[in-house]
Structure 1
Amino acid sequence: MTPVLAVTNLTKRFGAFTAVDDVSFEIAAGASVGIVGESGSGKTTLARMIIGLETPTTGSISCCGNDRSAPARSTRARRARARETQIVFQDPYASLDPHQTVRQALTEAASLHIADRRDSEARVRELADLVAIDERQLASVPKHLSGGQRQRVAIARALAAGPRVLVLDESVAALDVSIQAQILNLLADIRDRTGISYLFISHDLAVIRQVTEYSIVMRTGVVVERGDTETLLRTPAHPYTQALLASVPRPGWKPSRKERSDRDAPDTD
């Protein structure tokens, strides 16, 4: 079966610095793949290449059977790519127009891909139902919504084009644990209902375990380990993956207090 997304030997250099080094993986239709690593591991640079915000130095990207190795140049090409791949970022407030209501934001996104106004309005109602946004929230501007509600709006707007792949770049990292759980359950429901594929980028191993079947571990731009998510996190082979797991707080964990030395004392001169 042809994968919905195939990344082959992808490399990105910024001058002498290599942010992503020879990364390859595939995502099947309806699958959820995780990319995990600390800040600076190359996760976000990889995501930006996949959605066309960065151009790979070498390697290729194929989505829905189309070569997407280079950013789209025309409006028509950008819209075609948008119907294949979309992204949800960590901070929805930064990506939403503070002056637009939710309904206006979703209508604008839907209208880019649906010419008929009545069909566009129907699509907005469908999206609102998909992410559990009610009429009051549709009439609100972003500042009147909670963080979780804003992320629901960001997800709905990304889904407006009907993409085959949704890239989620630390999309629940800014939310508290209870709201994280709600959004992750919502994403699971959306995948069940639509058959969309996810590329879930996170430093949080608990999140990766909950929402993905296959995972890739990156360190300084290089893939150091990959495999079935549950097996990889239960019996990691690479020391870096082992270190990531060891750093996860366990029940009863308490932060240690650093002993204060003379060097830490305030300057009283």
Structure 2
Amino acid sequence: RRIDPVPARLAPRARLDWLWREIERADPARAALLTGRLLAEIPAGNAPADRRIGLVELRRALRRGSPSGKRAAAAVAAHQLEPDLVRPLAEVSLAEEDPGVRRAAAAALLGIDEDRAVGAWARSLLRGGDRRQRARAAENLGASGSPRAVDPLMLAVASAARAPGRYVFFGRQVSLVTDLDVEVARAAAIADPVVNVLTEGSVLEVRLVSTFTSRAAMRGLRRLTGADPGPGEADWLRWYEERRAGGD
């Protein structure tokens, strides 16, 4: 009995096209099977154009495909070693709602260029505006297995632990004339108003990294290093100093 899911007597290019179309509309289990079959059809690395999935198709799948299509696109991008897809994969690894798709994109990104992957997640962790994406960046760094991921995670922890150095004021000021300071001259009287200023509002301390992000960074550090010095930022700072003192 024939077990190959691809129809018989198709040319190599037609086999790729058939598999690519079927993955997009298949259920997750069948899509995973077809993705494995697709990877077997594509020579690893620098394959000729007629034996690979094009960048246009991969970009389209990463942007608008089904979850199965996005996972397949990530796997193919890593298999073909597509450096032009580093940025789209980084975006998917942070912004995608489906956790399986995020993990697939993160794994593909690490397979293509680990240094650029760690750099992209570090920038999102420390400079990103969306706290969910910051937490996902910490998760990706923790799962990366890269020693270079320790420093950005620790920077996030340290930023939340240190005393804030800036403040933001939200409120209003109201000027009130409460009296007149009168000076009498020979033929005139001069009155200078006495002005008091009423200020009301709130002053907030500003921290570079929120507690939410710091906790995500500590979870990432636990996964990455296997260490668990304690629940707070100060515990991790002591661990980091001891680690550096020991030459790690």
Give the TM-score taking structure 2 as reference length. Answer: 0.29
Where is the strand percentage greater, Structure 1 or Structure 2? 1
Where is the helix percentage greater, Structure 1 or Structure 2? 2
Give the TM-score taking structure 1 as reference length. Answer: 0.27
**Of the two, which has the highest radius of gyration?**
2
